[in-house]
A and B are shown apart, each in its own frame.
Chain A
Amino acid sequence: MSRPKGEFPIMTMTTAIPAAAADGPPKRRRTPILQILFGDLLAAGLTVMTGALVLALLPALRWGVLDAVWSTADPGRCGAGGACWAFVAAKIRFILFGVYPADEQWRPLAVIGLVLAMVLVSLPPRHWGRRLLTAWGVAIGAMLALMWGGFAGLPFVSTANWGGLPVTLLLAILSLGMGFPIAVTLALGRRSKVPVPRFLSVLVIETIRGMPLVGLLFISSIMMPLLLPAGWSVDKLGRTLAALTIFAAAYLAEVIRGGLQGVPGGQMEAARALGIPVWKAVWHVVLPQAIQKVIPPLTNTAIVMVKNTSLVLIVGVFDMLSAARTAASDPVWPAPYSESYLFVGAVYFLICFAISLYARWLEGRVQDKDLR
């Protein structure tokens, strides 16, 4: 239908309501990109400034990509002004598995695969439940058994020879997993109406949260042999795990306390009115609601703990970061420390960023649920 411009009959003006108007408010006019970038003096200044910042980072791109040596068997070719990724490629097994016997390295690889599989299975919230928890218990047992060996023809490998990514992953999972029940106890204790458990919980939580993790690692690695009777010996990995567990428990406890505070008091009162004993009410009514509320902040604590496992380097546990540092000190290669740390940083980034994306997705789901 064609009509000369400016000759709209009045009739059509009233009947033909534009389709868009029925859907909602008119669309906002988009500001042209040039006006955003150079619209006023401030915007122009910011554009020039960020542009300069990006330009200043270009040499890093040249170092890391264009001039980099990607693969070579000859270490001498590295070190000519570019990054030496060939080093990471050559040492990848050492960085990922440490000094684990070379013929047995399929075992730590299988552990990494098992962790990945379990994480993938645990992602959808509809899988959460007692069965998944049991599966995790079995899987962790299988991982530790695989690492140790000493059965079914697998040679025994002591924890002194464990290293690399499996140690990082195991420390993170075990410290969170064992810290969680302790954290629930501490959080319930802190919310208790009677003084003794409340005082003890506050004492433990605040002392540990007031201390740097490095201090706690010092205590566990130096003091634990003194604190325990002469016959009991815990190896270095176990002592570090103890420190990380206590640390995780104190931080998780505060998160869980937040969830407990968010459960309305009426829930407990209703349960009591139905004749349910206090402890059963806590276990079946209050705790499930509290933990559900704090799942997003719990994932945050998980990220913090994954990052914190890298601190074990300070007390000499051979995690991925120590392995990379040791690898870089090989005199054959021209000191590729920056490349090693960039690689390790990238692995940590992948793990932590994935967790934070998952947390964001979960949070969105929770909000959708609340709206309904």
Chain B
Amino acid sequence: MLAAQITALWDSPRLRAWAGQALLLLLFVGTLVWLAANTVENLAVRSIRVGFDFLARPANFPISESVVPYSPMDSFAWAYVVGIGNTLMISAMAILAATLLGLFVGLARRARHPMLSGVAGVFVTAVRNTPLIVQLLFWYALATTALPAPRNALHPLPYVYLSQRGLYLPGIEWSGNGWGFAAGTAAILVAAAVLVRRLRRRGRTAPALPAIAAAAAAILLLAWTTGIGAAASLPELRGFNFAGGMRLSPEFAALMVGLVFYTAAFIGEIIRGGIDAVGRGQWEAGRALGLSERQTLMRIVMPQALRVIIPPLTTQYLSTVKNSTLALAVGFPELGLVIGTVINQTGQALESIAILLAVYLTIGAAVSLLMNWCNARTALVTR
């Protein structure tokens, strides 16, 4: 009787499924616990203290360039913020530039012009089939060994110098409350844009010129109240190096060139694929209506192609953010390099890697959300 009951239980598919799941979960949790126990023991043997209190200590290592101000006296936490800032900056700049270049490459590959499509094809094939890190190292080697020393710097335009020390451009030196001014300017521009849109929606013709004039006047007033001052700063050779002006380091230049070229080659293929996916009839219909080739592309084909383009483009943007970690191969201080340095200096590997994970998963989620919103806007509305 009992044996029969046990057999019946064993044969019950629901029970078997539950038992299997419970076993799987137990196995997973058990492995995690085992790894954690090993870690605790190993940390104790090596007398490493775990905790985030090291974040408040001064970092004591230099970061060569950053978007947010930094000095070695600042804390480890601030060093991480600097790394995140640099990662976001290079990712954003690379994505923007690569999208523009990629659009051009994608269109060029479809062009009837044989030279143009040929050059674009060679570019895409060569760039896509070599590792990004090799390309980055190559550009960095070019920037640091093939260019002349500062004394013989290339000098294509007045006040533009290209040498092993980087690219020097005329810059503007700000004085006064820079952050307040920047924030105020952004607020004024947003307000002006919203106002113009509102007026347009009400059917009035937008007073473009007065709006621009009013915004300019407001910005000038803001500059006067925040005491902002601007002075042109021109690079000039002093001793063995340049002084003044705006400097783009060889690391930054190599990283940008490498990342933009690599990403643009992939984006170009995505855009080409998207345009190819739109039926030929759409082009023919556009021509039949008397639209020009460009109008057909921009008004008829592109909006439909975007539906195909946006999902793989999202993936590409995400991998660009992740690819920016390769900057540590050329020594540009983004998050990966900062984390590597902190681990070397403090031995706080667990905490640093947790931060790395958290930051990249957050960025990934943010980009996905943004692009899903874009996707929802362009998707085909069906009832």
A interface residues (Cβ-Cβ under 8 A, vs B): 33, 36-37, 43, 46-47, 50-51, 53-54, 194-197, 200, 207, 210-215, 218-219, 222-223, 225-230, 303, 307-308, 310-311, 313-314, 321, 325, 335, 337-338, 341-342, 344-345, 348-349, 352-353, 356
Verify A341–B360 contact, CB threshold 8 A. Answer: no
Least Cβ–Cβ distance between A37 and chain B, in angstroms: 7
Return the contact of A310 from the options B42, B111, B131, B356 (Cβ within 8 A): B131
Verify A211–B137 contact, CB threshold 8 A. Answer: no
Return the contact of B130 from the options A36, A195, A218, A348 (Cβ within 8 A): A348
Verify B142–A338 contact, CB threshold 8 A. Answer: yes
Verify A53–B328 contact, CB threshold 8 A. Answer: no
Least Cβ–Cβ distance between B356 and chain A, in angstroms: 5
Verify A211–B349 contact, CB threshold 8 A. Answer: no
Verify B353–A337 contact, CB threshold 8 A. Answer: no
Task: Return the chain A residue nearest B48 by Cβ.
Answer: A226
What are 12 contact pairs spanning A and B, CB under 8 A? Answer: A43-B113, A196-B24, A211-B356, A213-B325, A215-B357, A226-B350, A227-B38, A230-B41, A321-B134, A338-B138, A338-B142, A349-B126
Verify B329–A338 contact, CB threshold 8 A. Answer: no
Least Cβ–Cβ distance between B45 and chain A, in angstroms: 7
Q: How many A-B residue pairs have CB under 8 A?
A: 147
Least Cβ–Cβ distance between B190 and chain A, in angstroms: 32
Verify B343–A222 contact, CB threshold 8 A. Answer: yes
Say whether, besides A215-B353, A303-B129, A313-B329, A225 and B42 are in contact (CB < 8 Å).
yes
Say whether, besides A195-B21, A349-B126, A223 and B115 are in contact (CB < 8 Å).
no
Verify A348–B115 contact, CB threshold 8 A. Answer: no
Tally B residues with Cβ within 8 Å of A: 56
> Closest 8 interchain pairs by CB?
A337-B141, A212-B322, A352-B129, A196-B21, A310-B131, A307-B131, A341-B138, A214-B325
Contacts of B353 in A (CB 8 A): 215, 218-219, 222-223
C-alpha gap A314/B330 in the complex (Å): 11
Contacts of B24 in A (CB 8 A): 196-197, 200
Say whether, besides A207-B361, A230-B41, A349-B126, A215 and B356 are in contact (CB < 8 Å).
yes
Is B216 an interface residue when CB atoms closer than 8 A count as contact? Answer: no
Other A-B contacts than A36-B114, A325-B137, 14 sampled, CB-CB below 8 A, are A194-B21, A196-B22, A200-B24, A211-B322, A218-B340, A226-B43, A226-B350, A308-B131, A310-B131, A311-B131, A337-B138, A341-B134, A345-B131, A353-B125
Say whether, besides A196-B21, A219-B353, A341-B137, A212 and B323 are in contact (CB < 8 Å).
yes
C-alpha gap A265/B125 in the complex (Å): 38
Least Cβ–Cβ distance between B225 and chain A, in angstroms: 44
Contacts of B349 in A (CB 8 A): 222-223, 226
Least Cβ–Cβ distance between B359 and chain A, in angstroms: 10
Give the dominant DSSP class at B's interface: helix
Contacts of B43 in A (CB 8 A): 226
Say whether, besides A211-B360, A214-B326, A230-B41, A37 and B125 are in contact (CB < 8 Å).
no
Verify B141–A341 contact, CB threshold 8 A. Answer: yes
Contacts of A345 in B (CB 8 A): 130-131, 134-135, 138
Is B64 an interface residue when CB atoms closer than 8 A count as contact? Answer: no
Task: Return the chain B residue nearest A321 by Cβ.
Answer: B134
- Chain B residues 348-365 with CB under 8 Å of chain A are 349-350, 353, 356-357, 360-361, 364-365
Contacts of A356 in B (CB 8 A): 129
C-alpha gap A194/B19 in the complex (Å): 12
Is B145 an interface residue when CB atoms closer than 8 A count as contact? Answer: yes
Return the contact of A213 from the options B137, B138, B322 (Cβ within 8 A): B322
Task: Return the chain A residue nearest B24 by Cβ.
Answer: A196
Verify A214–B328 contact, CB threshold 8 A. Answer: yes
Contacts of A321 in B (CB 8 A): 131, 133-134, 137
Least Cβ–Cβ distance between B116 and chain A, in angstroms: 5
Least Cβ–Cβ distance between B147 and chain A, in angstroms: 11
Contacts of A344 in B (CB 8 A): 134
Verify B129–A338 contact, CB threshold 8 A. Answer: no
- Chain B residues 222-275 with CB under 8 Å of chain A are none
Is B374 an interface residue when CB atoms closer than 8 A count as contact? Answer: no
- Chain B residues 125-154 with CB under 8 Å of chain A are 125-126, 128-135, 137-138, 141-142, 145-146
C-alpha gap A341/B295 in the complex (Å): 44
Contacts of B340 in A (CB 8 A): 218
The 0/1 profile, CB within 8 Å of A marked 1, for residues 315-341 of chain B is 000000011011011000000100110
Say whether, besides A50-B119, A348-B134, A210 and B360 are in contact (CB < 8 Å).
yes
Least Cβ–Cβ distance between A77 and chain B, in angstroms: 17
C-alpha gap A309/B155 in the complex (Å): 39
Contacts of A310 in B (CB 8 A): 131, 133-134
C-alpha gap A307/B336 in the complex (Å): 20
Verify B137–A197 contact, CB threshold 8 A. Answer: no
Task: Return the chain A residue nearest B359 by Cβ.
Answer: A215
Least Cβ–Cβ distance between B76 and chain A, in angstroms: 17
